[in-house]
Amino acid sequence: MSFSVKTETFDNVAKLTLTGELDSSTAPQLMEEINKVIPQRPSELVMDFEQLDFMASAGLRVIIFAKQKLGTAAKLFMVKPQEQVLETLRMTGLIYSVTIVEHYPE
């Protein structure tokens, strides 16, 4: 499975751009990046999902981890999730605690 994640940080914002398929074989890569970002205590975590084609349970778990690890002090933005990813966020309830946007910054 092809997957890549690119991290940029600026002004208390951490932006992760995800590409490809996020499943149990690739989720550890995202986890590694998340673990690098969390100690910086960003006030906004932005995940660009536009190029993310698929997200399985393992990927969801990493995002839930990030959300709970950062706590309520940080806002989570998800940029342009594709239909399958959006549906997964919706059905698993994560959508209720993140902000879905077309662009970041809005």
Partner 1 sequence: MAEIDTRIDYYPTHECDGIKYRKGHVLPFGASIVSHGVNFSIYSAAATSCSLVLFKKNASLPFAEIPFPEHFMIGNVYSMIVFDLDTENLEYGYRMDGPFDPAAGHRFDKNNILSDPYAKAIGGREVWLEQPKPDKLYPFRSRLVFEDFDWEDDKPLQIPFEDLIIYEMHVRSFTKSPSSGVKHPGTFAGINEKIQYLLELGINCLELMPIFEFDEFEHSKKDPVTGELLVNYWGYSTLNFFSPKSGYAAMGKYGMQVDELKTLIKQLHKHGIEIMLDVVFNHTAEGDHRGPSISFKGIDNKTYYMLTPEGYYFNFSGTGNTLNCNHPVVRSMVRDCLRYWVSEYHIDGFRFDLAAILGRAQDGSPLNNPPLLESLAHDPILAKCKLIAEAWDAGGLYQVGTFPAYGRWAEWNGMYRDTIRKFLKGDAGVVADFSERIQGSPEMYSKRGANAGINFISCHDGFTLYDMVSYNQKHNEANGENNMDGNNENDSWNCGFEGETDDIFINTLRQKQIKNAMTMLMVSQGVPMILMGDEMGRTQHGNNNTYCHDNELNWLDWNLIETNAGLYNFIKHIINFRRCHPVLRNKEHFRGSDYMNTGYTDISLHGTKPWQADLSGAGRVFAFMLDGSYAKNGNLSDDTVYVAMNMYWEALSFELPRLPHDKYWHISVNTDMPAPFDFHQLSHEPCIENQQSFLVGPRSIIILIGKEK
Strands (E), the chain: 3-10, 13-22, 44-55, 75-79, 99-101
Output the smallest distance, CB 88 to partner 1, in A. Answer: 7
- Per-position DSSP letters for 56-75, written without gaps between them: -HHHHHHHHHHHHHH-TTSE
Q: Which is nearer to partner 1, 1 or 6 (CB)?
A: 1
Torsion of CA 70, 105, 49, 10, to 10 degrees: -50
Out of 31, 92, 99, 104, the only residue in the binding site for partner 1 (CB under 8 A) is 92
Out of 6, 43, 91, 103, the only residue in the binding site for partner 1 (CB under 8 A) is 91
Binding site for partner 1 (CB under 8 A): 24, 27, 56-58, 60-61, 64-65, 67-68, 88, 91-94, 96-97
